[in-house]
Amino acid sequence: MSRGPVILEQLRAALGVHGVFVRGIVSFGEGEGPLLTDGTTARSVVLLGNIGGSIWPAFSRWRQLPENAGRSHPLDDWSKTIIRPVASSLGATAYFPSDPPWQPFQRWAIEAEGLRASPLGILIHPVYGLWHGYRGALGFAQAIENDVLPAFSQHPCDLCVEKPCVTACPVEAVTAAGFDISGCRSHLRTREGRDGCMGGGCLARNVCPVGASYRYPVEQLAFHMAALQL
pLDDT digits (tens, 9 = 90+) for 127-183: 999 999 999 999 999 999 877 777 677 889 999 999 999 999 999 999 878 889 899
* Co-location of 121 and 27 in the same domain: yes
- Structural domain count, the chain: 2
Choose the final residue of a domain: 140, 170, 196: 140
CA dihedral 121, 122, 123, 127 (to 10 degrees): -140
* Co-location of 13 and 121 in the same domain: yes
CB 228 within 8 A of CB 185: yes
* Co-location of 178 and 220 in the same domain: yes
Neighbours of 69 (CB within 10 A): 9
CB 59 within 8 A of CB 78: yes
* Co-location of 78 and 180 in the same domain: no
Choose the final residue of a domain: 80, 106, 140: 140
Number of H helices, E strands in the chain: 11, 8
Report residue 102's pLDDT band, with 50, 70 and 90 as the boundaries. Answer: very high
* Co-location of 57 and 160 in the same domain: no
CB 105 within 8 A of CB 76: no
Q: What is the mean pLDDT of residues 87-109?
A: 96
Calpha distance 196→131 (Å, rounded): 19
Using alpha carbons, select from 185, 71, 69, 87 the residue that is nearest to residue 138.
87
* Co-location of 85 and 191 in the same domain: no
Q: What range does the domain containing 223 cover?
A: 156-228
Calpha distance 1→118 (Å, rounded): 40
CB 135 within 8 A of CB 50: yes
pLDDT at residue 97 is higher than 60 = yes
Rank 12-21, 109-118, 220-229 by mean pLDDT and report only the highest: 12-21
Amino acid at 184: C
Least confident of 21-30, 50-59, 150-159, 215-224: 150-159
Q: Where are the beta strands (DSSP E) in 11-112?
A: 21-27, 44-51, 93-95
CB 206 within 8 A of CB 199: no
How confident is the prediction for the chain on average, in pLDDT?
93
